[in-house]
């Protein structure tokens, strides 16, 4: 891995398939998942990108699909939620969900732990449970240690992100979601481009690189499998606006 130090050219999206993380990429991070503010121009921008790329646009998020749709109309795009565990195609076809053994017990334990400190927030997902400590940064170490012990006891896996640690079943990540979409006729043959900000996006950066595509890191410089970098959410929006201005395929 290297530290990406160049901005992506708008031409990178020519004949591409575009995969977009949500939090920290399309919307600014907030103190809690429910507190985000979705820019008013995001929906029309996604519509222009769908037209520009012949439908080859997908949201790939750690949130559940249901949660994403509480904030954003995803009817025109494919969408993956829960770090690749949920997958829905543009035509509405979905992969079935099966809650892992031990999840309900883990949910109760995380709820109880969150009551031990102000600022801890629990996010329940169809196939996992996340503990956010953005509003309680001093609890980061204690929260991570608790979740790691709970993972060992429950048979679930740990997924760490920005100020959050999640318990989830193994077997899928954002890279797997990208690979699954790229196997579909609508995406097949295009060059995959993934835009994301978090360490959970590294699997997707690696996946697109393997397929001859490119990753775009959002945020401060760090070592990454991405080949390009944009400074922040505003820079992502500006780059996508420029790319969307091209002629439809």
pLDDT for 102-138, tens place per residue?
899 999 999 999 999 999 999 999 889 999 999 999 9
Average pLDDT over residues 37-64: 96
* Pairing outcome for strands 128-132 and 157-161: unpaired
Strands 86-88 and 78-81 turn out to be: antiparallel
Share of the chain above pLDDT 90, in %: 88
pLDDT of the residue at 249: 54
Q: What pLDDT shows up at residue 182? A: 95
194 by Cβ neighbours in 10 Å (0-12 / 13-18 / 19+) ranks as buried
Q: The sheet that has 157-161: what strands, in order across it? A: 121-125, 128-132, 164-168, 157-161
What's the start-to-end Cα distance of the chain, in Å?
33
Q: What is the pLDDT of residue 102?
A: 87
247: pLDDT strictly greater than 80: no
Average pLDDT over residues 209-231: 97
- In what order do the strands lie in the sheet containing 16-20? 86-88, 78-81, 57-60, 16-20, 191-196, 214-218, 228-230
Task: Write the pLDDT tens digit of every residue in 68-106.
Answer: 999 999 999 999 999 999 999 999 998 766 677 789 999
Q: Give me the chain's average pLDDT, please.
A: 94
pLDDT at 248: 56
Q: Where are the alpha helices (DSSP H) in the chain?
A: 42-52, 65-69, 103-114, 140-154, 174-182, 202-210, 233-244
Q: Mean pLDDT over residues 214-227, rounded?
A: 97
pLDDT in the model for residue 101: 78
pLDDT, one tens digit per residue, over 35-49 is 999 999 999 999 999
Which sequence positions are flagged as catalytic? 21
The predicted pLDDT at position 235 comes to: 98
User: How far is residue 74 CA from its own chain's centroid?
Assistant: 14
Which residues, at least 6 apart from 121, have a Cβ–Cβ distance to it below 8 Å? 32, 33, 114, 131, 132, 133, 134, 135
Residue 147: how many other CB atoms lie within 10 Å:
25
Encode burial over 88-97: b for 16+ CB neighbours within 10 A, e otherwise. bbbeeeeeee
Question: What is the per-residue pLDDT across 139-165, written as a single tens digit (0 to 9) for each?
Answer: 999 999 999 999 999 989 999 999 999
């Amino acid at each position: 891995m290297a530290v990406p130090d160049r901005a992506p050219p708008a031409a990178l999206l020519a004949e591409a398939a575009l995969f977009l993380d949500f939090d920290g990429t399309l919307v600014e991070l907030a103190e809690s998942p429910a507190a985000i503010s979705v820019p008013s121009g995001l929906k029309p921008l996604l519509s222009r990108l769908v037209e520009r790329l012949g439908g080859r646009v997908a949201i790939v998020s750690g949130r559940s699909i249901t949660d994403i749709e509480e904030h954003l109309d995803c009817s025109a795009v494919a969408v993956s939620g829960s770090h690749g565990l949920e997958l829905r195609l543009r035509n509405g076809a979905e992969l079935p969900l099966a809650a892992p053994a031990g999840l309900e017990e883990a949910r109760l334990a995380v709820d109880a732990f969150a009551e031990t400190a102000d600022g801890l927030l629990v996010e329940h997902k169809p196939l996992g449970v996340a503990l956010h400590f953005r509003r309680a940064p001093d609890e980061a170490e204690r929260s991570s240690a608790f979740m790691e012990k709970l993972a060992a006891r429950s048979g679930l896996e740990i997924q760490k992100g920005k100020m959050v640690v999640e318990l989830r079943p193994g077997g899928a990540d954002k890279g797997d979601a990208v690979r699954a979409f790229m196997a579909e006729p609508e995406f097949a043959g295009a060059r995959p481009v993934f835009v994301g900000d978090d360490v959970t996006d590294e699997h997707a950066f690696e996946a697109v690189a393997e397929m001859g595509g490119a990753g775009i890191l959002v945020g401060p410089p760090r070592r990454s499998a991405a080949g390009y970098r944009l400074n922040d959410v505003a820079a992502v929006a500006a780059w996508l606006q420029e790319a969307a201005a091209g002629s439809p395929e």
